[in-house]
Amino acid sequence: MITNFKGKTAVLTGAGSGFGLECARIGAQLGMNLVLVDVQQDALDQACAEMVAAGAEVLSFRLDVANAEQMQAMSQAVFERFGAPHFVFNNAGVGSGGLVWENTVRDWEWVLGVNLWGVIHGVRLFTPMMLDAAAKDPSWQGHIVNTASMAGLLNPPNMGVYNVSKHAVVSLSETLYQDLRLVSDQVGASVLCPYFVPTGISQSHRNRPAALDVEKPTRSQLVGQAMTDKAVGSGKVTAADVAQKVFDAMAADQFYIFSHPKALGNVQSRMQCIVQQVNPTDPFAERPEIGRDLKAALRGA
């Protein structure tokens, strides 16, 4: 929980666009020190310039969140400049589609590297710092927010690698919440599970390592990309709306953060299947035309 953000420090990965950028904007308005982390230099430079113009103290790092050494160096630099951060937003993420058996080892390593290992590094590097600061000052408050997805609570077909990465982030976050509760009342945790929100996630291939482009995309990967583009692009909830929900959740010590609470009906259906030990339901029951189109596209009809 954080009840007063002024003068506090935020570390934001994926800060060059989407939720990271919008949280940086709110942080700047609230008088926070900002540590902006992104793999895309031009987007990072633009975000830094905007936050400095807004009057924020800014430290920026172009790095790959999957890289343990780069994350270690960044965390040390943050500590030396600002001390333990109060808000850590492990948010950097990439999208990936296609039938689960069609992804290469490199695809798996890239998506799990960013979506899961990026969060693992943020948690393992900053949590000890935050707990140490809390132990030294009874009034110190901190909060870690990890970006997962509704795909971390559901299993939409043709998105297997992404689903796996986001389910792992939900599990990590829930465990982090419980572990923190064992040792401190001053450091909280939340998991952000957005549905389709217009961000840069559907254009993740812009930061895809060149080594991964040796293989031509399969039919299912091309279909998955087209469906994601359409769904993300048509989202009515904005990244700025979601960023405000993140700050509201920290102030209220709320763990689950949803961009589209109405989608929880699908989560409930999944849980009922598990508890009742029945086979998974049709994911397209509410939108059968999407299921028909996907099947036809994959079967070449």
Active site residues: 162
CB-based burial label for 222 (10 Å; 0-12, 13-18, 19+): middle
Contact yes or no for 231/196 (Cβ under 8 A): yes
Task: Give CB contacts under 8 A, 24+ apart, made by 129-137.
Answer: 129/75, 129/79, 129/84, 129/85, 130/84, 130/85, 130/86, 130/88, 130/187, 131/183, 131/184, 131/187, 132/84, 133/83, 133/84, 134/184, 134/186, 134/187, 135/184
DSSP 165-222: HHHHHHHHHHHHHHHHHHH-SSEEEEEEE--S--SGGGGGGGG--GGGGGSPPPHHHH
CA angle 260–262–263, rounded 5-degree value: 75
Q: Position 23: which residue type?
A: C
